[in-house]
Amino acid sequence: MDSDDEIPELIHQEDQIPDLIPAAQDDPSLSKVPITIVTGYLGAGKTTLLNYILTEQHGKKIAVILNEFGDSIDIEKQLTVSDANTTEAKPIPFVPLANGCICCSVKDVGVAAIENLMEQRGKFDYILLETTGLADPGNIAPLFWLDDGLGSSIFLDGIVTLVDAKNVIKSLDEGFGDENATELKEQAGGHDGHGPLLTTAHLQISHADVIIVNKADLVSEEELQTVVDRIRSINGLARIETTTRSRVKQLEGWLLDLHAYDHVQDADLQFASKGHSHLDPVSRLFANTTSSLTIDQTISTITINFPPLETEQVDKFDQFLRSMLWEETLPATSTQPSFEIHRLKGRVPLHNGNILLVQGVRNVYEMNEQKGGQSPADDQAKLVLIGRGLDEPIFRESLLAALS
């Protein structure tokens, strides 16, 4: 290697950083720009996190979009690009988003805004989108993930949810005080009106790839652990970190460049398998006796373990997924629970030595067969579901019946 010319990327002697952008503009096959969605309740620390990233970050030029609108906010500040050479953020021409809420009109305005932003491509290589009041990240995620127009230039890297350690339990418990709750409930598919309400906090937690429990300084160790346990019981897949002033330990690969929607890896499922042991029948029984847990039990993570599949069973597996995700019906079972899937990840070894990887957000899913790559430990297939009304024995029974 010609070490005189090659400058390691992470060195940040400012005058030595190579300008990567002109080279990228010469290349017609510009690589896709990752977008990370930062969501979370009002005041949880989203802006603090973005500022932290912008000042700590040195290898990337990051475009930041805030979709919070108010007279107090200087428009120039709403769209800034961090300069890889300095820690200074520079405004770039501003593209307005929908009026404060990206989920309602994301198709029309949000997508247009981001496409517009993409015309300035080359000035940044990463996008952070802060979404205050985004009630339901499930609506927006598949757009970046699959939309042909956007999908050709941007990919969804991950959803980061910030929660306020001091207030999140209250937000989870007091669904009834959440002005969005009734509306969310209707969106959630016309439930019978007797179940507990889903809060915005529940939805933001259930869709997250990373959950930052911020404001750790405002609670005791025990309270913090209670919060982490509660969040883990809702989302068994996400990484959870506790912070003060949103100062995460690591950005690269932890918060940025997650590739959470590219492919499923073993590591993605590790928390879920741990979480599974929390859901054993005995602790469930006990959990049922405490009211605070009863609420979250309607939204939880389950892991279904089942034997590896024959290639002929892949179609049946796909049909099971379609029935579950598109028709919200469990095939081949007499018990028909009312449920809703927010996230789904699966890793299914096949008898031919390949591995089937499945990934889904709401009713959008994709399934890929990866050649080879099995390890001797692949004696079980695993399907992890996060959502409302999930009961492992019932789902497992249906899956096994559908596969037979």
Ligand X SMILES: Nc1nc2c(ncn2[C@@H]2O[C@H](COP(=O)(O)OP(=O)(O)OP(=O)(O)O)[C@@H](O)[C@H]2O)c(=O)[nH]1
Q: Which residues bind ligand X (CB under 6 A)?
A: 40, 42-48, 68, 132, 214-215, 217-218, 244-246
User: How many chain residues interact with Zn ion (CB under 5 A)?
Assistant: 2
Closest of 240, 235, 192, 183 to residue 212, by C-alpha: 240
- Give the C-alpha distances (Å, rounded to integers) separating 139 from 15, 107, 126, 144, 191: 43, 10, 21, 10, 18
Based on the shown chain and the rule CB under 5 A, indicate whether residue 388 belongs to the binding site for Zn ion: no
CB of 191 to ligand X, least distance (A): 28
Segment interacting with Zn ion (CB under 5 A) among 32-40, 46-54, 245-253, 323-331: 46-54
CB of 213 to ligand X, least distance (A): 10
- Give the C-alpha distances (Å, rounded to integers) separating 3 from 6, 7, 18, 177: 5, 7, 14, 61
* Selected binder of Zn ion within 24, 30, 47, 153 (CB under 5 A): 47
Across the strands, what pairs with 306? 381
From Zn ion, ligand X, none, interface partner of 232 (C-beta below 5 to 8 A by class): none
**Close Cβ partners of 327 (under 8 Å, ≥ 6 residues apart):** none
Q: What is the DSSP string of 231-273?
A: HHHH-SSSEEEE-STT--S--BTTTBS--TTT---GGGGHHHH
What the block records as the tokens of 252 is 């690269």
CA separation for the pair 155, 238 (Å, rounded)? 19
CB of 33 to ligand X, least distance (A): 23
CB of 322 to ligand X, least distance (A): 37
Q: By Cβ distance, which residue is nearest to Zn ion?
A: 47
**Which CB sits closer to Zn ion, 46 or 215?**
46
CB of 202 to ligand X, least distance (A): 17
From Zn ion, ligand X, none, interface partner of 39 (C-beta below 5 to 8 A by class): none
CB of 77 to ligand X, least distance (A): 13
**Which CB sits closer to ligand X, 202 or 345?**
202
CB of 174 to Zn ion, least distance (A): 22
Applying the rule CB under 5 A, the residues between 337 and 366 that interact with Zn ion are: none
Applying the rule CB under 5 A, the residues between 166 and 185 that interact with Zn ion are: none
- Asked whether the beta carbons of 129 and 103 are under 8 A apart, the reply is no
**Which CB sits closer to ligand X, 43 or 195?**
43
From Zn ion, ligand X, none, interface partner of 220 (C-beta below 5 to 8 A by class): none
Based on the shown chain and the rule CB under 5 A, indicate whether residue 51 belongs to the binding site for Zn ion: no
**Number of residues that this document lists for the chain:** 404
CB of 66 to Zn ion, least distance (A): 7
CB of 38 to ligand X, least distance (A): 9
Applying the rule CB under 5 A, the residues between 217 and 276 that interact with Zn ion are: none
**Which CB sits closer to ligand X, 47 or 153?**
47
Across the strands, what pairs with 361? 343, 364
- Asked whether the beta carbons of 299 and 391 are under 8 A apart, the reply is no
**Which CB sits closer to ligand X, 132 or 233?**
132
CA separation for the pair 310, 325 (Å, rounded)? 22
Closest of 146, 139, 147, 144 to residue 156, by C-alpha: 144
**Which CB sits closer to ligand X, 248 or 272?**
248
CA separation for the pair 350, 309 (Å, rounded)? 5
**Which CB sits closer to ligand X, 113 or 248?**
248
Phi, psi of 148 (to 5 degrees): -60, -45
Side-by-side strand order, sheet with 33-40 = 89-91, 79-82, 62-66, 126-132, 33-40, 154-164, 210-214, 239-242
Segment interacting with Zn ion (CB under 5 A) among 41-49, 180-188, 268-276, 316-324: 41-49
For the chain, give the longest Cα–Cα distance: 70
- Contacts with Zn ion by CB under 5 A lie at 46-47
